[in-house]
Amino acid sequence: MNEVEINAVFLAVALLMALFSTYLIYAVKRGTRGVGFLLVLYLSGSMVIMFLTLAFFFSTQSKVTEAVAFLANSLYMILGLFVILTLAQRKVEVRNSYTVALFAFTMAVSEALMGETFYAIDTKTLGNPLLGVENLYYLLTMLIEMGFAVFISFRNMTTPLKYYLLVLLPIMGLSPVTFPDNTPFIYDVTWASTSLMIVATILIYETLYRDRLKATQDTMTSLELMVIFTLMMGGEFLYFLVGSWYLFDLASILGMTWAIYRAIEGPSKIRGNYLRDTWWTFAFISLTFVMEWFMGGVLDFVTGVIQPGVSGFLSSLSLGFVSPSAYFGLGTLFDFVSAFSTVTGSVWFLVMMGTEMGALATMRIPQLKNKENKVRFALMISAYAIYTIYLPSFSPWTSKLPYIPYMWSMGLGTMGPVSPSYLLTGIIGTYVVTAVLSFLFGSRQICSVTCTAPLMYQGTFYDSLKTYNRKSGLGRKTLTSRLRPWYKAIVIGVWAVLLTSAVVSYLTQVGVINVTIFGVDTTVFLYSLFFNMLWYVVFISIPFLGTYACATQGWCSWGTFNQFFGSLGFFKLKVRDPSVCLKCETKACANACPVGLTDMAGSFIRKGEFKSMKCVGVGDCVEACPYDNVFFYDVRHKLRDIFHKRG
């Protein structure tokens, strides 16, 4: 037979298998129980044994392998029938969630082994155990069976599960292993699948947020889907790193298993609520971040920011790579920071995060009633797109940004070492400009607009996590405007380290000394450590630290700088009538504050205004006030008051 005829036979077999498998799926979905369900399990298992032995046989085609294949199928047939008859006689009901999951798994494995058999026929060799996933015939049968399972179950599914399965189908279909030797194809489907996965992640966030006030089955179901996404992105990252699709192939089998199982069984029976379950929320956020880190890394590989292969990856690290055993093992920590921050500091990771978080922030805008807050949200989203993404990475002024005040963004270290050419305009100029802006408008100009943190904290899902400011042990200790001793110690410690590194960096740049951290400028290293690594550790620890821990616990030097000058300036929150606050029973303003300023209401009653170094001007208090009594006050209102008095 020529190649065309062989492929035609393969296609016919694949379609017959898909047809037979869809019948078995239909039988299970219809509610087949007892002996009928046992027969379904028996038949699905027989496909696994059949293709397993066929792949083994065609890889060698000897009398021995032929005998082994025949013996294995015969034993399965005899023992399987014996088990069925025994259980049927004893009237044992074997159908439950575990056996249905086993059925779904055998469906996925049998199709993978079918692909393995086709490979053995073509090459007369046996490939890796998951190689069967890496061909068009597996993809075809997988999509037919998954699609059929979704189709026959669609009417009875919950709405979130419908969306989850509908978005999973094309993601599974856009498999880069379909033509594993075609690099352009791999790159194209990677872009398409990651885009769909971002959409799916936003959908998961919104599903959880919509049901935030009750325990639902969607909570655990969402976590399951996120596990599959994480394995898929981890598999693609592993391919670019070491050239192996093993993990991605495994993720494909698990994804098919999950889709068929959930289509038959419905959402998870475990009910949960992310606002009540601290550890579940931490697991979900952490898993999401791991998936996003892999996704950012994959996009970096595709765009050439990181070179493929282990050696290419190590040579692309932003801080470089040193011997892990250097300085009694400190080299290992350095390499970890370098690898971690290479991805989190890359433009494509920021684009991907901005797309997700920007979508969540955009979805919150219709919920806002205060015009000024709507404008701030628009500025916040635009600032991320322009200030964080476009200007540093894509604009024609990229190389000149270090010399421009306010473009040194996060303070010392962002744009490079503290060199004389940057010192006056780039660094000192940035601090002067932001100090003036914070004095005039409050620290919100950074902490609620320009910084990347507000976009991440203020979208629908993550904004709702401010409940952990009151629920978590450490979060409760940050409540009120009081600056606790440990807060001051953290701020002093962070600034001491930062200023020391700045002095060392400057003296090294002018040739007085030569001190670096494994060859990396001290401020550059600290920036990567603080903003490209520790910031994300703080972020995913929201269930234990509360929201805006960067501001409430003093970890962000740039934040405390602007908060300090903001507390000296004009910005404050005021109320139109303090007596309204006195009668208010809800104290909704304090409950809504994402920084946990619970003494806000008392200050409104006593003074008619509220001013705190911790206040970053998010404006949730303005939104939450049921009497529209709270408003922002800054230099604009101060000037208006001055001119009004003169008039």
The string of pLDDT tens digits covering residues 581-619 is: 999 988 899 999 999 999 999 999 999 999 999 999 999
Residue 366: is it exposed, middle or buried by C-beta count within 10 angstroms (0-12/13-18/19+)? Answer: exposed
pLDDT at 55: 86
**pLDDT band per the 50, 70, 90 thresholds, residue 80:** confident
Tokens of 498: 């930062």
As a CATH number, domain 569-646 is 3.30.70
Does the pLDDT at position 573 exceed 90?
Answer: yes
Cα(47)–Cα(24) distance, integer angstroms: 12
Is the Cβ–Cβ distance between 171 and 203 less than 8 Å?
no
pLDDT at 1: 59
Does the pLDDT at position 2 exceed 70?
Answer: no
Q: What's 125's DSSP letter?
A: S
Return the higher-pLDDT residue of 3 and 617.
Answer: 617
Share of the chain above pLDDT 90, in %: 70
Cα(482)–Cα(599) distance, integer angstroms: 9
Cα(464)–Cα(457) distance, integer angstroms: 9
pLDDT digits (tens, 9 = 90+) for 307-343: 999 999 999 999 999 998 888 889 999 999 999 999 9
The pTM of this model reads 0.93
Is the Cβ–Cβ distance between 559 and 551 less than 8 Å?
yes
Share of the chain above pLDDT 70, in %: 98
Does the pLDDT at position 423 exceed 80?
Answer: yes
Cα(353)–Cα(340) distance, integer angstroms: 15
Residue 172: is it exposed, middle or buried by C-beta count within 10 angstroms (0-12/13-18/19+)? Answer: buried
Q: What's 502's DSSP letter?
A: H
Does the pLDDT at position 120 exceed 70?
Answer: yes
| Average pLDDT value over all residues in the chain | 91
Dihedral sign, Cα of residue 491, residue 495, residue 496, residue 498: positive
Of 307, 336, 291, nearest to 528 (Cα)? Answer: 336
Is the Cβ–Cβ distance between 561 and 443 less than 8 Å?
no
pLDDT at 413: 59
pLDDT digits (tens, 9 = 90+) for 520-559: 999 999 989 988 999 999 999 999 999 999 889 998 888 9
Query: By three-state DSSP, how is residue 517 classified?
Result: strand
Cα(355)–Cα(359) distance, integer angstroms: 6
**Domain spans in the chain, listed from the N-terminal domain onward:** 1-127, 317-565, 569-646
Does the pLDDT at position 43 exceed 60?
Answer: yes
pLDDT digits (tens, 9 = 90+) for 139-185: 999 999 999 999 999 988 999 999 999 999 999 999 998 887 788 89
pLDDT at 304: 94
Does the pLDDT at position 432 exceed 60?
Answer: yes
Cα(558)–Cα(506) distance, integer angstroms: 19
Low-confidence winner among 42-46, 403-407, 409-413 (lowest mean pLDDT): 409-413
pLDDT at 180: 79
pLDDT digits (tens, 9 = 90+) for 275-311: 999 999 999 999 999 999 999 999 999 999 999 999 9
**pLDDT band per the 50, 70, 90 thresholds, residue 409:** low
Cα(326)–Cα(335) distance, integer angstroms: 10
**pLDDT band per the 50, 70, 90 thresholds, residue 205:** very high
**pLDDT band per the 50, 70, 90 thresholds, residue 411:** low
pLDDT digits (tens, 9 = 90+) for 485-507: 999 999 999 999 999 999 999 99
Does the pLDDT at position 412 exceed 70?
Answer: no
Of 494, 499, 554, 538, nearest to 522 (Cα)? Answer: 499
Is the Cβ–Cβ distance between 208 and 219 less than 8 Å?
yes
Mean pLDDT for the stretch of residues 550-574: 92
Tokens of 573: 């929150």
pLDDT digits (tens, 9 = 90+) for 85-117: 888 777 778 889 999 999 999 999 999 999 888
Point out which residues pair with 517 in neighbouring strands: 520
Q: How far, rounded to the nearest angstrom, does the alpha carbon of residue 399 sit from its chain's CA centroid?
A: 30
Q: Report which secondary-structure segment, H or E, holds 160.
A: helix 159-173
Does the pLDDT at position 126 exceed 80?
Answer: no
**pLDDT band per the 50, 70, 90 thresholds, residue 638:** confident
Query: By three-state DSSP, how is residue 573 classified?
Result: strand
pLDDT digits (tens, 9 = 90+) for 506-522: 999 999 999 999 999 99
Does the pLDDT at position 3 exceed 90?
Answer: no
Does the pLDDT at position 647 exceed 60?
Answer: no
Which residue matches tokens 């969306």?
163
